[in-house]
């Protein structure tokens, strides 16, 4: 699996006199097995970008290649692209609609035209992957907790067996335990099921600990690209575009500015405490 | 002094009914809540999803009334429907989704909607609209359509709409859940300023730990009950208990606790980055 964007532009409202240039000359390559965090404040273009990835919207100019094939080619099978690149929208639990959990998860595979048996098998597997037990298969999705509902919604996408899972703000509105639950699930899907994950969020604290590559967008452009430790070195730049950095990184930066010798770029509280401990010991 | 809000053993049950109207299921969302809030306080209510905090918030301006127990807002019993209008004027509510609470095509008309409905004379409405938009730093947007505002700006307009009704208290139910960091900061800053400068009582419901560090007092809810109460420092020093209620502590407090575990002697109720770095630098100097 690979996705390649070449000189991609997206302009809302072309010809209306109120054009908004949402994406400007994006060049980007997403490789198999990556866990990407896509950050940027509201209106930076990140939601526009992810909707181009599975062909929901068409770039105003530029080309997108999926596994080397131009997805705008006349003969390209857009339908199969949409099952390969699964998109989980913000507040996906608002899209639950069926009477039982299992029916809701089966809706996607059913629309792929799969045989009954295959459809059921995939749905059971998907629910197992997100940790929804058999006892919940026949209950109404509306009786579940917020975190459970969201996991059922994600299972609905997983049942399509995507190669890439794109999630737009998957932890918005959840309490800390719910946040850890969803992010832990994504980590597991990435490591155990080898799914490439693109996590869209404006909370640095949430994504920094999980992803191995961060993309930061501002005004329709990708301004920073690299592993979290590298991206967080640009503290001033991140703050200027309204994002900020995790508190652990901030603590280390401040100590270093005051002359402390702290090695590495710790992101979690534990690593940060260890780095400080090493410095205090000397 | 009489407390501005006084909840005595408040219970709220949501009951589900079948087609004949018989109760089939009862969900006890609030289970004996006791709270007293002094006028002018900044109070935060923390709680996991489903802990009952939104149900409690809706009691504070009589959108819901207790199944058992009593709740007084500004000395008025919320169960008495004759008090509804007075209570809603004195305690205004801001909800999570900014798009669900804005109704006009122009910012200043939206802010004027509240006072207009309670029969404020026209000139007074315009005076209040101006004042409250200035208070939330949205005055320069007064002629614009709310559609073009960011989430944080919309929430501030919603707050201005409440302010224009001259309430003594504003209840905010997860006002920042849908906002980006910049929007979150601007809303919290606005709320703090209204508390300090205008002496408005604030009840902030949230599960972002960083937002409650500035509160005078924090209540933690779990399974419809108040499980913990105290100042932010007292609450965050009890991290194990918080985890039990599906909450957490700010990252910087976590770092401090990790260091204490390793034998470093720093206070265990640290809430701010500067506080931690200053304590550490001081420690290093004395080594």
pLDDT in tens, A93-147: 888 999 999 999 999 888 888 899 999 999 999 999 898 989 999 999 988 877 8
**Which chain A residues are within 8 Å of B276, Cβ to Cβ?**
251
Residue B276 CA to residue A94 CA, distance in Å, equals 41
Would you say residue A264 lies in a domain? no
Give the CA distances from residue A174 to residues A155, B49, B178, in Å, rounded to whole numbers and listed in that order. Answer: 18, 7, 11
pLDDT at site B70: 96
Determine phi and psi for B71, rounding to 5 degrees. Answer: -135, 125
**Which chain B residues are within 8 Å of A172, Cβ to Cβ?**
177-178
Count contacts between A and B (CB, < 8 Å). Answer: 103
Which B-chain residues 99-128 have CB contacts (< 8 A) with chain A?
Answer: none
- Asked if A184 reaches chain B (Cβ–Cβ under 8 Å), the answer is no
Q: Distance from B51 to chain A by nearest Cα, in Å? A: 10
Q: How far from chain centre, in Å, is Cα B112?
A: 23
Residue B184 CA to residue B178 CA, distance in Å, equals 9
Would you say residue A244 lies in a domain? no
Q: How far from chain centre, in Å, is Cα A140?
A: 27
Residue B220 CA to residue A203 CA, distance in Å, equals 23
Question: Residue A203 belongs to a domain with what CATH number?
Answer: 3.40.50.300
Residue A236 CA to residue A245 CA, distance in Å, equals 10
A35 within 8 A of A211, measured Cβ to Cβ:
yes
Angle at A181 between CA A175 and CA A186, to 5 degrees: 130
Would you say residue A55 lies in a domain? yes
Would you say residue A271 lies in a domain? no
In which residue are the tokens 């390209």 written?
A76
Structure token digits, residue B254: 């976590």
CA atoms A72, A78, A82, A85: torsion sign: negative
| Among the partner residues A172, A174, A280, nearest to B284 by beta-carbon distance | A280
**Domain containing A57: what range?**
2-227
pLDDT at site A207: 82
**Which chain B residues are within 8 Å of A145, Cβ to Cβ?**
49-50
Which A-chain residues 140-159 have CB contacts (< 8 A) with chain B?
Answer: 145-147
Query: Quick one: which of A243, A276, A265, A230 has its CA closest to B277?
Result: A276
pLDDT at site B71: 96
Q: How far from chain centre, in Å, is Cα B88?
A: 16
| Among the partner residues A172, A260, A269, nearest to B258 by beta-carbon distance | A269
pLDDT at site B272: 93
Which B-chain residues 7-66 have CB contacts (< 8 A) with chain A?
Answer: 47-50
Q: How far from chain centre, in Å, is Cα A33?
A: 13
pLDDT at site B245: 92
Provide the domain count of chain A: 1
Would you say residue A268 lies in a domain? no
Would you say residue A82 lies in a domain? yes
Helix (H, G, I), strand (E, B) or coil at B241: helix
Q: Which stretch of DSSP H or E encloses residue B88?
A: helix B84-90
C-beta atoms surrounding A246 within 10 Å: 24
Residue B93 CA to residue B203 CA, distance in Å, equals 9
Would you say residue A134 lies in a domain? yes
Query: Quick one: which of B253, B190, B60 has its CA closest to A176?
Result: B253
A45-48: list long-range contacts, CB under 8 Å, 24+ apart.
A45/A10, A45/A217, A45/A219, A45/A220, A45/A221, A46/A200, A46/A217, A47/A168, A47/A200, A48/A10, A48/A22, A48/A23
Domains and CATH numbers, chain B: 5-249 (3.40.50.300), 250-287 (no CATH)
What angle in degrees, to the nearest 10, is found between the helix axes of B251-261 and A269-281? 50
- Which residues of chain B have a pLDDT value below 50? none
**Which chain B residues are within 8 Å of A146, Cβ to Cβ?**
49-50
pLDDT at site A243: 86
pLDDT at site A28: 96
- Which residues of chain A have a pLDDT value below 70? none
Structure token digits, residue A269: 């509280």
Assign residue A91 a region (left: φ > 0; alpha: ψ between -120 and 50; beta: otherwise). Answer: left
Assign residue A171 a region (left: φ > 0; alpha: ψ between -120 and 50; beta: otherwise). Answer: alpha
Fill in the DSSP letter of residue B210.
Answer: G
Would you say residue A54 lies in a domain? yes
Residue A251 CA to residue A272 CA, distance in Å, equals 8
- Asked if A20 reaches chain B (Cβ–Cβ under 8 Å), the answer is no
pLDDT at site B31: 95
Burial profile A140-164: b = 16 or more Cβ within 10 angstroms, e = fewer = ebeebebbbbbbbbbbbbbbbbbbb
Residue A71 CA to residue B134 CA, distance in Å, equals 50
């Amino acid at each position: 699996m690979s996705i390649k964007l070449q000189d991609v532009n997206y302009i809302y409202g072309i010809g209306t006199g109120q054009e908004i240039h949402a994406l400007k000359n994006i060049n980007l390559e997403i490789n198999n097995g990556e866990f990407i965090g896509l950050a940027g404040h509201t209106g930076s273009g990140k939601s526009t970008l992810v909707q181009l990835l599975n062909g929901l919207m068409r770039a105003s100019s530029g080309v997108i290649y999926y596994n080397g094939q131009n997805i705008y080619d006349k003969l390209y099978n857009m339908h199969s692209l949409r099952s390969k690149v699964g998109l989980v929208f913000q507040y996906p639990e608002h899209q639950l609609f069926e009477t039982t959990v299992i029916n809701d998860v089966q809706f996607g595979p059913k629309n792929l035209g799969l045989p009954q048996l295959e459809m059921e098998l995939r749905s059971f597997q998907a629910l197992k992957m997100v940790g929804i037990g058999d006892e919940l298969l026949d209950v109404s999705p509306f009786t579940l907790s917020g975190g459970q509902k969201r996991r059922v919604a994600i299972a609905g996408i997983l049942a399509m067996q995507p190669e890439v899972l794109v999630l737009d703000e998957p932890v918005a509105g959840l309490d800390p335990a719910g946040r850890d639950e969803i992010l832990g699930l994504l980590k597991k899907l990435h490591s155990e099921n080898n799914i490439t994950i693109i996590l869209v969020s404006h909370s640095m604290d949430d994504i920094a600990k999980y992803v191995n590559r961060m993309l930061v967008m501002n005004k329709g452009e990708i301004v920073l690209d690299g592993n979290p430790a590298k991206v967080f070195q640009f503290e001033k730049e991140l703050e200027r575009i309204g994002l900020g950095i995790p508190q652990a990184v901030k603590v280390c930066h401040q100590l270093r500015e005051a002359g402390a010798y702290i090695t590495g770029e710790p992101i979690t509280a534990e690593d940060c405490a260890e780095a400080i401990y090493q410095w205090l010991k000397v | 002094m009489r407390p501005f809000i006084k909840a005595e053993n408040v219970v709220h049950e949501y009951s589900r009914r079948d087609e004949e109207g018989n109760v089939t299921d009862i969900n006890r969302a609030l289970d004996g809540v006791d709270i007293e809030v002094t006028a002018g306080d900044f109070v935060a209510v923390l709680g996991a999803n489903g802990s009952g905090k939104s149900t409690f918030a809706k009691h504070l301006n009589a959108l819901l009334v207790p199944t058992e127990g009593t709740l007084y807002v500004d000395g008025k019993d919320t169960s008495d429907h004759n008090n509804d209008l007075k209570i809603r004027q004195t305690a205004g509510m801001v909800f999570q989704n900014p798009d669900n609470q804005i109704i006009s095509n122009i910012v200043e008309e939206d802010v004027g909607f509240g006072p207009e409905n309670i029969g404020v004379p026209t000139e007074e409405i315009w005076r209040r609209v101006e004042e409250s938009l200035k208070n939330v730093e949205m005055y320069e947007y007064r002629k614009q359509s709310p559609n073009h505002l960011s989430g944080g700006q919309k929430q501030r307009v919603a707050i201005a709409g409440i302010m224009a009704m001259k309430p003594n208290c504003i209840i905010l139910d997860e006002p920042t859940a849908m906002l980006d960091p910049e929007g979150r900061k601007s809303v919290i800053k606005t709320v703090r300023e209204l508390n300090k400068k205008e002496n408005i009582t604030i009840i902030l419901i949230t599960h972002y730990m960083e937002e409650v560090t500035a509160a005078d007092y924090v209540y933690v809810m779990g399974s419809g009950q108040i499980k913990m109460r105290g100042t932010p420092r007292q609450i965050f020093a009890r991290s194990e208990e918080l985890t039990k209620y599906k909450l957490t502590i700010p990252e910087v407090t976590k770092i401090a606790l990790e260091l204490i575990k390793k034998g470093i002697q720093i206070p265990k109720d640290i809430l701010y980055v500067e506080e931690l770095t200053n304590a550490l630098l001081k420690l290093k100097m004395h080594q």
